[in-house]
Amino acid sequence: MKIHEYQGKELLAKYNVPVPRGILVNDKSEAAGAARKIGGNVVVKAQIHAGGRGKGGGVKLARGAEDAERIAGEILGMTLVTPQTGPEGRLVKKVLIEEGMVIVKELYMSVLIDRQTSQVMIMASEAGGMEIEEVAAKSPEKIIKEYVDPVIGVKPFLARKIAFALNLEGEVFKQAIPFITNLYECFKREDCSMAEINPLVATNDGRLLALDAKIAIDDNALYRQKKSFEYRDLDEEDPMEVEASKFKLNYIKMDGNIGCMVNGAGLAMATMDIIKHSGGEPANFLDVGGGANEETIENAFRILLSDPRVKAVLIHIFGGILRCDILANGVVAAARKLHVSVPVVVRMEGTNMEEGHKILNESGLNFIVANGMKDAARKVVKAIQ
Amino acid sequence: MSILVDENTRLLVQGITGREGMFHTEQAVKYGTKVAAGVTPGKGGQSVMNIPVFNTVKDAVKKTKANATMIFVPPAFAPDAILEAADAGIELIVCITEGIPICDMVEVYRYLKNPGTKMIGPNCPGVISPGKCKIGIMPGHIHKKGSVGIISRSGTLTYETVSQLTALGIGQSTCVGIGGDPIIGMRFIDVLELFQKDRGTKAICMIGEIGGSAEEEAAHYIKKHVTKPVIGFIAGQTAPPGRRMGHAGAIISGGQGAAGDKMAVMKKCGIKVCKSPADLGQTVAKNL
């Protein structure tokens, strides 16, 4: 789960990772007061989940309180388009007003899970302020990687290794050690899946600060991170995905017109793939999970059909332990209740498949029964032509 | 022949008294798996379907000589169950549980390195050697005894592959669902090594998906060490970057983990890569 910059900085501050002084503002009338409280020049930063905010005009310097109010007025309510939002952009509802500062060095630092070693990795670079993927592609030698043994965590020696490799000196070097150890502590205790500080800055008055914070919380750990769970911002998610999540359905919206309902993530992806290979475009990814029952199927159906672009539906279930006759009854009941009017192709496999087919065929509803994956994809693509 | 599990496997079920645990224990017994014991802390002395339940894994191992475990414990307690099994000297841990926090898995992974315990999963369907032993949630009846080894990050897509093979009259030596999480126990390479050594396995079917680089690593390993034909598929060719596709580990991030890149590397390393999942069975048949 992604969280906002201001929320990320709240978490960092809790672990004594230094962040700039800042005040969150929901309305432009609060901006001048906030700027005055902070004093001097301030930076007004749009709070949306996507990166690249500066490029889209969502981060601006304000010279004093009045200027801050004017700029906050411009940014609040704007539809911010960045390289990461897509062309539709994101509506800005909150801005963070932060102290301005004179930056002498911009660095990069992140804590993340390295899948190759199954360890926590700290990545750092002197090339701060730019996308780390870009640095990795152009000058990989500028990236420092250190791995954390979970038994001991991040001890000062490891932090020193990183600080020396970043060519830090004097006061800034001294501050870097607790910065790194505390950042790791925050990552671990808050169950982050990523904590990226880009840029991490050194200022002309000798401070080391997390100027930005891109933090994501591990979805699997939200049951024990109650505070972070409250950080969830539904405005940042697709409304249909939010609706699906209420029923524990895994739904991701795509651009096509063939709605898919599948059990299992791998099979759901493979179903999207085979639709594409057959000349169609999937409207979504939807995994109804292993324990799909009548209710799940009804909810899934409803969500699929609420997308006006969906012109046909493919239900693809590998029964396994879930019996096909039970599944077929669920599909029939849901289709009746929801008055489904688009063609529905059903491919099911597994226990009691014949009985399942019989139920679909005798329902009086217009199901198209498919045999095998390829047949299902072909039939659903044909159904919309 | 087969790998990891066979007629000598003596299974322990952690979480045997829960709804899921009980149901799948029953399925395993029906399939012919030797289920030796169950463990639920505080319920020692009871029995489930005549299988004795113990308070600790250590007790269960001592009394029943169980050598493998199947874990059906909720995500908040599953890491502890894995550690307990490893501590008690269980050789093979199969963790079905989905939704374990990744920071917990980092610790578990580190601990398992020392005793050298093998773990399949978490977030996996389990492992089956058809006709011999079934540990997990896969439907047993779709399998057929034979000589194709299957390794997969997915559950239902593995069943699909198995059913294509069985329909063509091609049986399987062992099917291993390694799981869809970013941190798992046995990876493609670990299983490939066992299949290469197993005289009962004539061909290998490897089913990957987007996210991480395990398939690329496996492909390089195959080029160097595997002489048996390997047939591959990658799910998620149409998946958008930056989105988690159901599995915690199925995400294209920072330009890494895309299906196209994986397929290219696999092809280059001599793997027969199917573009369509519907062609897996036929492709295996051609290469046997």
Task: Note down pLDDT in tens along chain B; length 288 residues.
Answer: 899 999 999 999 999 999 889 999 999 999 999 999 999 999 999 999 999 999 999 999 999 999 999 999 999 999 999 999 999 999 999 999 999 999 999 999 999 987 789 999 999 999 999 999 999 999 999 999 999 999 999 989 999 999 999 999 999 999 999 999 999 999 999 999 999 999 999 999 999 999 999 999 999 999 999 999 999 999 999 998 888 888 878 888 777 899 999 999 999 999 999 999 999 999 999 998
> Would you place residue A349 in the very low, low, confident or very high pLDDT band (cuts 50, 70, 90)?
confident
Q: B245–A285: do the CB atoms touch at under 8 Å?
A: yes
Q: How many residue pairs from chains A and B have C-beta atoms closer than 8 A?
A: 170
Alpha carbon distance A166, A168 (integer Å): 5
Alpha carbon distance A312, A299 (integer Å): 17
Kindly report the backbone phi and psi dihedral angles of residue B89, in degrees, each rounded to the nearest multiple of 5, phi listed first: 90, 15
**Residue B9 C-alpha, separation from nearest chain A C-alpha, in angstroms:** 23
Residue to mutate among A190, A269, A317, with most B CBs inside 10 A, is A269
Q: Taking 90 as the threshold, does the pLDDT of residue A301 lie above it?
A: no
**HSE-up of residue A180 (Cα within 13 Å, Cβ side):** 30
- Residues linked to residue B54 through DSSP beta bridges, in sequence order: B39
Listed in sequence order, the residues at least 6 apart from A89 whose beta carbon sits closer than 8 Å to its beta carbon are: A56, A79, A80, A81, A82
Instruction: State the catalytic residues of A.
Output: 108, 196
- B30 touches A: beta carbon within 8 Å: no
Q: Taking 80 as the threshold, does the pLDDT of residue A293 lie above it?
A: no
- B250 touches A: beta carbon within 8 Å: yes
Q: How far is CA A91 from CA A5, A23, A71, in A?
A: 16, 20, 16
- B209 touches A: beta carbon within 8 Å: yes
Contact between A347 and A361 (Cβ < 8 Å): no
Contact between A312 and A383 (Cβ < 8 Å): yes
Residue to mutate among B72, B77, B112, B160, with most A CBs inside 10 A, is B160
- B128 touches A: beta carbon within 8 Å: no
Q: According to the model, what pLDDT value does residue A12 have?
A: 98
| SS3 of residue A260 by DSSP | strand
Q: Taking 80 as the threshold, does the pLDDT of residue A341 lie above it?
A: yes
Contacts of B206 in chain A (CB under 8 A): none
> Would you place residue A125 in the very low, low, confident or very high pLDDT band (cuts 50, 70, 90)?
very high
b/e map B185-197, b = 16+ CB within 10 Å? bbbbbbbbebbbe
Alpha carbon distance A342, A186 (integer Å): 50
CA-based nearest residue to A276, from B245, B237, B267, B280: B237
H or E stretch at A302? helix A294-305
| Number of Cβ within a 10 Å radius of residue A154 | 23
Contact between A90 and A78 (Cβ < 8 Å): no
Contacts of A151 in chain B (CB under 8 A): 110
pTM for the model stands at 0.93
Q: What is the mean pLDDT of residues A18-23?
A: 97
Q: Taking 70 as the threshold, does the pLDDT of residue A321 lie above it?
A: no
Chain A residues 225-264 with CB within 8 Å of chain B: 250, 252, 254, 262-264
Decide which of B233 and A327 is more confident.
B233
Decide which of A297 and B71 is more confident.
B71
**Residue A161 C-alpha, separation from nearest chain B C-alpha, in angstroms:** 22
Chain A residues 271-290 with CB within 8 Å of chain B: 272-277, 282, 285, 287, 290
CA-based nearest residue to A219, from A231, A205, A211: A231
Q: According to the model, what pLDDT value does residue A290 have?
A: 67
**Residue A26 C-alpha, separation from nearest chain B C-alpha, in angstroms:** 28
Q: A273–B237: do the CB atoms touch at under 8 Å?
A: yes
Q: Taking 70 as the threshold, does the pLDDT of residue A284 lie above it?
A: yes
Pick the most confident of A235-244, A331-340, B153-162. B153-162
Contacts of B282 in chain A (CB under 8 A): none
- A203 touches B: beta carbon within 8 Å: no
Listed in sequence order, the residues at least 6 apart from A365 whose beta carbon sits closer than 8 Å to its beta carbon are: A332, A335, A336, A340, A344
Peptide bond into A199 cis (omega under 30): yes
| SS3 of residue A100 by DSSP | coil
